[in-house]
Structure 1
Amino acid sequence: MRHLKLLHQVSEIARSGSIRQAAEKMNITASAMNRKIQDLELELGAPIFERRPRGVKLTTAGEMFVRYARSQIADAERLSSQVEDLRGLRRGPIKIACSQALAYDFLPSQIGAFRKDNPRLFFDLKVMDHEGAINALIEYDVDLAIVYRATARPAVRVIRSIPQRLVAIMHRDHVLASKKGLRLSDFVGHPLALPDASLGGRQVLDQVVAKRDLRFNVMAESNSFEMLRGLVLRCGMISFQVEIGAPTNDLGAELIGHTVDERDIPPSDLVVCQLRGRILPVAAASFADRLVKAMS
């Protein structure tokens, strides 16, 4: 599969926008990589990259070739996975992009259970917002995307979806901790630490708050759920997260979560998805089956 090296090089140049940077990452000289690309362009009869003073940009033909290259790389990885599976190795990698809500408990728990039967497996995990995760899926950077409120794309197939309610996270000693059936109006006047606008939970919250004309006392916002948990724990603030990422008894003894009344915020879907028409590597397909069962 020597041709795969060239395909990897083209893919990396497209990703970095620079022959020099791609060459450094792949440990070859920029001049040697450039000669290979020029030979390929001569064979194709069309330029793949437009050379610019600062880096390169894909031509229309280049965009077509990069999609082909990444498809071939993915197929080769699947073949390698199947061969290893026949030999009993099952090493992976399993490449996943996921929302932050899954990073603290749910996904590590599923990986831990899966590795009991597959201890040689390697996981490549990327925590991203939903748009970035779907783009990574389309670009063949990951096998699976597990995200909240994913934008529908024709190239993406949803394997499983599960409704997720919004949960208010607070210290167990907070004045609202013992109250049941919390409405959004209950949080007015309390200091809040909110996810930033790039995250799905915040987008849902903003839409409802704007319609209701509620005046929240937002004291902090962050794109890090770990930071938000710290603000809840150390500063007495309230934050919000979808229920799959809410504190559990074994991981968050000092924190509790209360579901926000669905009359204020209806559930939105968490989805497991893959690239439509792509046959997943054996290990990734097996792990996807486990996720589907766990979410059911």
Structure 2
Amino acid sequence: MQHIALRYFQEVAETGSITKAATRLNVSASAVSRQIIKLEENLSATLFERHPRGMVLSQAGQQLARHVSRIALETEMALTEIRNFQAADHGHIRLASYEGYAIETLSQAVARFREKHPKVTVHAWVGNSEDICARVLAGKADIGITYSHSSPPGLTIQLVEVRPIYALIPRDNPLARRASVSLEDLRGQDFAFPDNSRSQRKLIETALAARGFNLNRVFSTNSMAMLKTVSCMTGCVMFSTSVRGQMHGITQTHAEVAVEDEVFSGSVLQVVTMAGRQLPQPVRNFLASAFGITEPLA
């Protein structure tokens, strides 16, 4: 298989279109199409499902895409190491995280890491867990931090950490003085909720469905930062993983109270990387610095 065929395949996989891939490659669409057909013939496998709206990777195509991404990343790593062979600590790290973790916990980890590794640059992308996994699988992120999300094939789980969901209750509310509350105790309170794009919302809905009732949702958003701000300003109750020791204004207005619920107590954070990929040294250094990871779980 020629390198050019794999390059064309990668562009079609990323764009979902032969025409768009041809534009990015500055070649004709027919040239791209021929290479894809030739690659499929060589492999005796269908790599794409052809639809009116574009090209969708088949199961075989997904497997090849992961392999091609690993090759590209390891080639990039080798070239970078050759360029910087005289430098002990250069490089670039790409992170992908859900917002609730990124706002302060990951930010603090980046700040600590940069103190010891000032020549390493860092980029952080914030989104939902499904998109985080997709970015790691596509080689667009070195490390992914997801929340209560089942990792798809092609990822290595570096760490699983239980992160219970707490109720953040205004301090002038009698419930704020309790060590724990049940979901039933919170009925009748005004709530600020994450919207349906957030993993936490799905957990909340699962827990409420098991109880057979809803809570009084008066505000929702896909931004965890805005969720905390509105809760501070309006006195709404909200759910969040631990905020102890963090600098959010909500720690001044709201108390963190444990929720007596199996779904809430069993929520987890996962740190994931691309399976089978040899991670660059700066990425391994960050995993050790931020999470204490020296060996992956799986």
Question: Offset at 1:210?
Answer: 1.8
Query: What's the counterpart of residue 221 of structure 2?
Result: 222
Question: Offset at 1:202?
Answer: 2.3
Question: Offset at 1:166?
Answer: 0.7
Structure 1 144/209 Cα, relative in aligned 2: closer, same or farther at 3 Å? same
Which residue identity lines up with residue 15 of structure 2 in the other structure?
S
* 2:31 corresponds to which of 29, 35, 48: 35
Query: What's the counterpart of residue 16 of structure 2?
Result: 17
Question: Offset at 1:104?
Answer: 0.6
Question: Offset at 1:12?
Answer: 3.2
Tell me the secondary structure at the aligned position of residue 180 of structure 2: coil
Query: What's the counterpart of residue 296 of structure 2?
Result: none
Name structure 1 gaps, 5 residues minimum.
none
For each residue in 1:180-215, what CA deviation from the matched residue of structure 2 results, as whole angstroms up to 9, or x when unmatched? 323222321111011223323222222222222244
Q: Is the 8 A contact 1:169 1:255 kept in 2?
A: no
Q: CA–CA distance in 2 between the matches of 1:215 and 1:41?
A: 53
Q: State, as a whole percentage, how many aligned pairs show the same letter.
A: 23
Question: Offset at 1:84?
Answer: 5.1
User: Quick check: 15-24 or 39-48, which moved more?
Assistant: 39-48
Q: CA–CA distance in 1 between the matches of 2:191 and 2:144?
A: 30
Q: Is the 8 A contact 1:169 1:241 kept in 2?
A: yes
Aligned pairs (5 A) from 1:87-98 = 87-88=86-87, 90-98=89-97
Q: CA–CA distance in 1 between the matches of 2:228 and 2:33?
A: 48
The reply on whether 1:271 has 2:270 as its aligned counterpart is yes
Q: Is the 8 A contact 1:84 1:91 kept in 2?
A: no
Query: What's the counterpart of residue 237 of structure 1?
Result: 236
Q: Is the 8 A contact 1:130 1:150 kept in 2?
A: yes
Q: CA–CA distance in 1 between the matches of 2:203 and 2:186?
A: 16
* 1:259 corresponds to which of 249, 257, 268: 257
TM-score normalised by L of structure 1: 0.80
User: Quick check: 160-169 or 44-53, which moved more?
Assistant: 44-53
Question: Offset at 1:141?
Answer: 2.5
Question: Offset at 1:16?
Answer: 1.6
Q: CA–CA distance in 2 between the matches of 1:154 and 1:63?
A: 10
Structure 1 283/137 Cα, relative in aligned 2: closer, same or farther at 3 Å? same
Which residue identity lines up with residue 250 of structure 1 in the other structure?
M
Q: Is the 8 A contact 1:93 1:283 kept in 2?
A: yes
For each residue in 1:209-266, what CA deviation from the matched residue of structure 2 results, as whole angstroms up to 9, or x when unmatched? 22222441111222221221122022221111122xx364533254434132345532
Q: CA–CA distance in 1 between the matches of 2:27 and 2:52?
A: 15
User: Quick check: 231-240 or 54-63, which moved more?
Assistant: 54-63
Q: CA–CA distance in 1 between the matches of 2:277 and 2:56?
A: 27
Name structure 2 gaps, 5 residues minimum.
294-298
Question: Offset at 1:65?
Answer: 4.4
Q: Is the 8 A contact 2:95 2:123 kept in 1?
A: yes
User: Quick check: 44-53 or 217-226, which moved more?
Assistant: 44-53
TM-score normalised by L of structure 2: 0.80
For each residue in 1:11-34, what CA deviation from the matched residue of structure 2 results, as whole angstroms up to 9, or x when unmatched? 23322223444455x5x5353x76
For each residue in 1:42-87, what CA deviation from the matched residue of structure 2 results, as whole angstroms up to 9, or x when unmatched? 5775586677765445577755543332121021123234335632
For each residue in 1:136-191, what CA deviation from the matched residue of structure 2 results, as whole angstroms up to 9, or x when unmatched? 22232322211121314453322222211111224444554334323222321111
For each residue in 1:95-151, what CA deviation from the matched residue of structure 2 results, as whole angstroms up to 9, or x when unmatched? 222122211101111011111122232223222222222232223232221112131
Q: Is the 8 A contact 1:221 1:228 kept in 2?
A: yes
Which residue identity lines up with residue 280 of structure 1 in the other structure?
L
Aligned pairs (5 A) from 1:206-221 = 206-221=205-220
Tell me the secondary structure at the aligned position of residue 151 of structure 1: coil
